[in-house]
Structure 1
Amino acid sequence: MLQRYGTDKIGFLFAPIVTVWLLFISGVGVYNILHCNPDILHAISPAYMYRFVRNINKHNWRSLGSILLCIAGSEAMFANLGHFSKKSIKITFVCCVYPVLLISYAGQAAFISKNWGTIPDFNHLSSSMPDHTRHAFVVLSLFASAVGSQASITASFSIINQLLALKCFPQVKVVHTSDKIHGQVYIPDLNWLLMVLSLSVTVGFHKVDAIGYATGMAIVSGMLVTTCLMSLVISLYWEKSLFISACFLIFFGFFEAMYLSACIWNFHRGAWYLVMLSVLFLTIMLAWHYGSMKKYEFDIENKVSSEWLTDSRVPGIGFIYTDIVTGVPAFFSHFITNLPAFHQVLIFVSFKPQPLPYVPSDQRFLIGRVGHKDYKIYRCIVRYGYCDHIRDTDDFEEQIIHSIGEFISLEEKDFKSITFEEGKMTIVGKPGSEGNAAYALIPVNNSMSTASSSWTSKENTNTSCHPGSEKGPSTNAPVRRKKVRFVLPPESPKMQASVRDELQQLVDARESGTAYILGQSHLVARNGSNFVKRLVITVYMLLDRNSREPPFALNIPHAALVEVGMVYTI
């Protein structure tokens, strides 16, 4: 329940708990070392590890999987790079976490060596606590467990956020809890899913041993995957020799493969649950990535040129939302083929997220033409940061139209733009700011809309900042959408007649009304496809129907919305 406040908020609460807990277990460790067996520090020598491996047997080999639990949780620090800097993690781990763990485990080993055989089965940490500290240990351990789970939860948020950027996970709501530290996110859906999974594991297994085996498998699997990927980074990104990359993979991979084999022995004791979850999430990731890429490739391969469009025009402006930034999308050509008429002015709108909290207003819109000037077809690429509410405004379309008006005005000074090249875009400034756009379009006669579609709420956005953010909206109260009427200013001697005519046509089209055209994809496997391909496409369609809408589809008036369904044969 505290996750929604963000790491920077709850960190003030958790940091003292972690500090007290580390000091507590290190103090108890020092006490046990001095009181039970000071010679236990000699066990740090690698010679004892060599003796263990030399006298290995089936029973001892299985225990290697449990040894991995000694580092469980510490690896979560490095998964939180989006929440803390690398320098802070290095200093904390080397100077604090690692020495404390070493002292704590040495104290437990000293206690076991003194009480060997007296207690048949006990929890090493709790049993090693002195009598006068047991009550404090119970309270601190509960709080420390909550802090440890918080580290894993925030790491999961970071991973899902990266998967969304790579189009490997269905659309979920992402709340950026800080506009200063990039990567601090909160995902409500995942937060409650983790709670359900945690409760199901606890209720299903009944005992901690099975959970420990699954945890050991998770740790060593993550380590092995990281080693394999790091070897690729060494050879491909760092451009080192294949020999160095192979040595790195063999050296670290040998130890990790040894621990992985030990965990496989415990597969039937609880590690199977991790494998089941891994297969489930990998299937979701594979299906979503495969479907998204195939859909995008289909749009690219089946796009048509602007010359293909017919001359049947109807009054008004049509906003066509698409992912591609060149050509006419396939779903729109499908729409024109079956209904050969389109609006007087067409605007192809594409949304491109940027790894920034906010994109300045004077750099948000990229405007260009599609085809010849006489077609009156424009392309607008909207760049936004993860804290920008791109459609949570009352004049989003008016901003785009203002930007197009400024683009037309700027084009007057650049005669090369008359012969427009596909893909060439121009950054336009903030509408209404000082510059060439000051005389393009002027909003007048603002009025309040009473239609049901004029009410918007911040909670509808897929990606947002925490309500407490300095620049984000501070309230969830509904916002009324303003209706804006545009007129041209008086005659200007600096404006050419062709520019004025095009601006007038833009104004007339805006006055005639606006329509929003969205493409709805339906993926179908081609006849003769194998079972795996059909399964992946089926999973993708199931996820697509039950995931959130993309952010640009939010708050569009239903009366002006046209959804064009199209079958994508993959």
Structure 2
Amino acid sequence: MVQRFGTDKVGYSFAPIICIWFSLIGGIGIYNLFKYDPAVVKALNPKYIVDYFRRNKKDAWISLGGVVLATTGTEALFADVGHFTVRSIQISMCFVTYPALIAAYVGQAAFLRKHSGLVSETFFKSIPDPLFWPMFVVSVMASIIASQAMISGTFSIIQQSLALGCFPRVKIVHTSAKYEGQVYIPEVNYLLMVACVCVTLGFKTTTKIGNAYGIAVVFVMTLTSAFLVLIMLMIWKTNIFYVIVFVLTIGSVELLYLSSVLYKFDQGGYLPLAFAGVLMAIMYTWNNVYRRKYYYELDHKISPDKLKEVSADIKLSRLPGLAMFYSELVHGIPPIFKHYVENVPALHSVLVFVSIKTLPISKVPAEERFLFRRVDPKELNVFRCVARYGYTDGRNEQEPFERLLVEKLKEFIRNECSFSQAFLTNGDVTEKELGEPDDGQIDEDTKMDRTADREKEQEEAEREIEIIDKACRAGVVHLIGENEVRASKGASLGDRIIINYAYNFLKKNLRQSEKVFDIPHKRMLKVGMTYEL
């Protein structure tokens, strides 16, 4: 419930608790070390690892799946680099987290030297009696905070996938004006909650949950190292010798741990792979159809010549009012417009094709928000508009958006007129600079002609602005293109399943266009069209 306040506010609230947590486990660990067996520090000698494997062989290899849980949580540091600076993670890991954990584990080992029968309850049994209940409260709060790292990491991954067109539309709330990566996604937040409750009820024991978590963590580490090798070879152009050394040292250790955790695949380890399979299926389905739709629109977009042909149709009538036609295409007119005109042979007196784009900056100044371009022929009063927003800019004030867009449209027409007048004025200067004969009569006639042209341009601009004002008074209508997709005739069975069933199921159960664009429902009109992909 507190995720909506943002990573930074949650972090400020929980940071003191984490500091208390690390201080307590480190202090208790040092206390147990000196109370029970200070000689345990000899365990830092790597020789004991070799002896352990010689003595236990296969059982030692299997036990690595449990040992890896001592390092889990560190992978969340790298998922959260977008939320915190690299330097802050380095300092906190080296001077707080690592020393406290080493002290805690060494203290528990010393405690077990005297109480070997309390292995399953080592943590709470090793706490001194006066500190038991305070430690119990702090540990519960710390476990809640530990989940924050994975939740915020999930938000970041979903946001990046959405930007690449690899994930269905979800609402993304940017909670920080300073850091782009700090986001909150309501749908994902509640799905995580439901999934956690279901997993807990299904597994019931921490052993199976630990097996599942171990496989997830080691897979993350192994895949990260594999991608790092690709970066070393293809981007950094690292010497092949260093790449081989990296693979033999880091890679061999990670593969050893991976083989150990996979041994417990049937004891809960299958869960993260099942989740990954479902997510991959969703992402592949969405991205596959998303790309096909985009290329379909590019191939079938309306050219300027086609628009002139449509506008010249004598059956086409003009209605009073201003229509905003929303489209994802920035260049060209979407094919759904032709479909609309063919079925409803009427156009509003002013038509604006609007594309809303979010930029990777916090705010876009109001004067730079709208980019306009006129669509020929001029008498049609058709314009293209790209509305640019930063990730913290609000788009939920419908009336101001309309008003601001119309004002900027009129400003664009005035600027276009001013540019044309400036061009005519510069033409006078240019001709004089070129050394044309100074014939007073010709020069005077030319000036009069150009003055008349400027006045004509001014009158035309004022006339266009009057048409826009009149259209706004008649009413503003928001037209949304709703695209249905179907597999084309002759498509393979796989394509039919992906397009007709999987993609359409996702689309019907996700956030719709009017919610994404924050469009007033009273003045919204949906235009449907079926794409055969």
Deviation at 1:544, TM superposition (A): 1.0
Deviation at 1:361, TM superposition (A): 0.5
Q: In the alignment, which of 526, 530, 533 is matched to residue 563 of structure 1?
A: 526
* SS of match in other structure, 1:357: coil
Distance 1:552 1:314, change over 3 A: farther
What residue in structure 1 maps to residue 393 of structure 2? 388
- Which of the two has higher C-alpha Rg? 2
CA distance in 2, matches of 1:355, 1:569: 33
Match runs of 1:330-345 below 5 Å:
330-345=335-350
Separation in 2 of the partners of 1:372 and 1:285?
42
- Matched residue, 2:61: 61
User: Quick check: 1:314 aligned with 2:307?
Assistant: no
The answer for unaligned runs of 5 or more in structure 2 is: 424-453
Alignment root-mean-square deviation, CA: 2.6
Which residue does 2:496 correspond to in 1?
534
Q: Residues 517 and 243 of structure 1: is their aligned pair in 2 closer, same or farther, counting only changes over 3 Å? A: farther
Q: CA deviation at 1:317?
A: 2.2
Would you say the 8 A contact 2:323–2:352 is kept in 1?
Answer: yes
Alignment of 1:370-381 (within 5 A): 370-381=375-386
d(CA) in 2 for partners of 1:221 and 1:282?
A: 15
Q: CA shift at 1:114, angstroms?
A: 3.6
Is the contact between residue 112 and residue 118 of structure 2 (CA under 8 Å) also seen in structure 1? no
Q: CA deviation at 1:521?
A: 1.4
SS where residue 29 of structure 2 aligns?
helix
**Per the alignment, do residues 383 and 143 of structure 1 end up closer, same or farther by CA in structure 2, a change over 3 Å counting?**
same
Q: Which moved more, 1:183-192 or 1:528-537?
A: 528-537
Cα distance in 1 between the residues matched to 2:149 and 2:514? 28
Q: How does 1:53-92 map to 2 (within 5 A)?
A: 53=53, 57-92=57-92
Structure 1 residue 182 displacement after superposition? 2.9
Equivalent-residue separation in structure 2 for 1:559 and 1:324 (angstroms): 25
Q: Deviations over 1:490-513 (max 9, x none)?
A: xx9696233233333333333333
Correspondence for 2:469: 507
Measured against aligned partners, the alpha-carbon deviations of 1:321-377 in whole angstroms (never above 9, x if no partner) come to: 111111110211222233333233221100110122221101111111223434422
1:72 match: secondary structure: coil
User: For residue 450 of structure 2, what is the aligned residue in structure 1?
Assistant: none
1:256 aligned partner, one-letter code? E
* 8 Å Cα contact 2:398-2:519 kept in structure 1: no
What letter matches 1:267 in structure 2? F
1:135 to 116, 121, 133: 133
> Against the structure 1 CA distance between its residues 322 and 416, is the aligned structure 2 distance closer, same or farther, given a 3 Å change threshold?
farther
Contact 1:411 1:417 in 2 (8 A): no
Which residue of the other structure, out of 204, 207, 217, is the alignment partner of 1:206?
A: 204
Give me the whole-angstrom Cα distance separating, in 1, the residues matched to 2:338 and 2:387. 22
CA displacement, residues 44-87 of structure 1 (integer Å, 9 cap, x when unaligned): 23333344455663322221111111012232233222322211
Three-state SS of the structure 2 residue aligned to 1:414 is helix
Contact 1:318 1:343 in 2 (8 A): yes
Partner of 2:110: 110
Bigger helix share:
2
> Which residue does 1:486 correspond to in 2?
none
Letter in 1 for 2:414: S
Q: 1:523 aligns to what SS in structure 2?
A: strand
Provide the residue aligned with 1:367 in structure 2.
Answer: 372
Structure 1 stretch displaced more, 100-109 or 366-375: 366-375
CA contact (8 A) 2:351 2:383 kept: yes
Q: Which runs of 5+ in 1 are unaligned?
A: 419-491
Letter in 1 for 2:384: R
Seen in structure 2, the aligned counterparts of structure 1 residues 31 and 121 have a Cα distance that, compared at 3 Å, is closer
CA shift in 2, pair 1:34/1:87, >3 Å:
same
Structure 1 stretch 19-28 or stretch 81-90: which is displaced more? Answer: 81-90
Relative distance call for 1:120 and 1:298 in structure 2 (3 A) is same
Aligned residue pairs total 495
The answer to whether the 8 Å contact 2:118/2:125 transfers is no
Q: Distance in 2 between matches of 1:248 and 1:351?
A: 45
- Secondary structure of the 1:496 match is helix
- Among candidates 104, 121, 124, match of residue 123 of structure 1: 121
Counting only pairs closer than 5 Å after superposition, residues 268-287 of structure 1 correspond to structure 2 as 268-287=266-285
DSSP-derived class of the 1:402 partner: helix
Shift of 1:153: 1.8
Distance in 1 (CA, whole Å) between partners of 2:57 and 2:324 is 70
TM-score (norm 2): 0.86
Match of 1:150 in 2: 148
Q: Is the contact between residue 177 and residue 362 of structure 2 (CA under 8 Å) also seen in structure 1?
A: yes
**Alignment partner of 2:376: what SS?**
coil
Shift in Å at residue 160 of structure 1? 2.0
Counterpart residue identity of residue 488, structure 2: R
1:22 Cα deviation (Å)? 0.5
Q: Give the conservation status (yes or no) of the 8 Å contact 1:351–1:552.
A: no
Q: Secondary structure at the match of 2:388?
A: strand
On the 8 A contact 1:391/1:552 being kept in 2, the answer is no
d(CA) in 1 for partners of 2:489 and 2:56? 55
Equivalent AA in structure 1 for residue 59 of structure 2: H
- In structure 2, what is the Cα distance between the partners aligned to 1:74 and 1:97? 10
Secondary structure, aligned partner of 1:179: coil
Counterpart secondary structure, 1:566: strand
Three-state SS of the structure 1 residue aligned to 2:69 is helix
In structure 2, the partner of 1:470 is none
* Contact 1:25 1:104 (8 Å CA) reproduced: yes
Whole-angstrom distance in 2 between the partners of 1:358 and 1:526: 42
Contact 2:395 2:517 in 1 (8 A): no
Secondary structure of residue in 1 paired with 2:399: coil
Question: In structure 1, what is the equivalent of residue 442 of structure 2?
Answer: none
1:130-529 → structure 2 map (5 Å cutoff): 130-240=128-238, 244-245=242-243, 248-249=246-247, 251-309=249-307, 310-311=310-311, 312-315=316-319, 316-415=321-420, 496-529=458-491
Q: Which residue of 1 aligns with 2:441?
A: none
| 1:128-178 CA distance string (max 9 Å, x none) | 223443333322211211111222222222222222222222222222222
TM-score by length of 1: 0.80
CA distance in structure 1 between the aligned counterparts of 2:515 and 2:411, rounded to whole angstroms? 23
Instruction: Flag the 1:241–1:534 CA change in 2: closer, same or farther, 3 A.
Output: farther
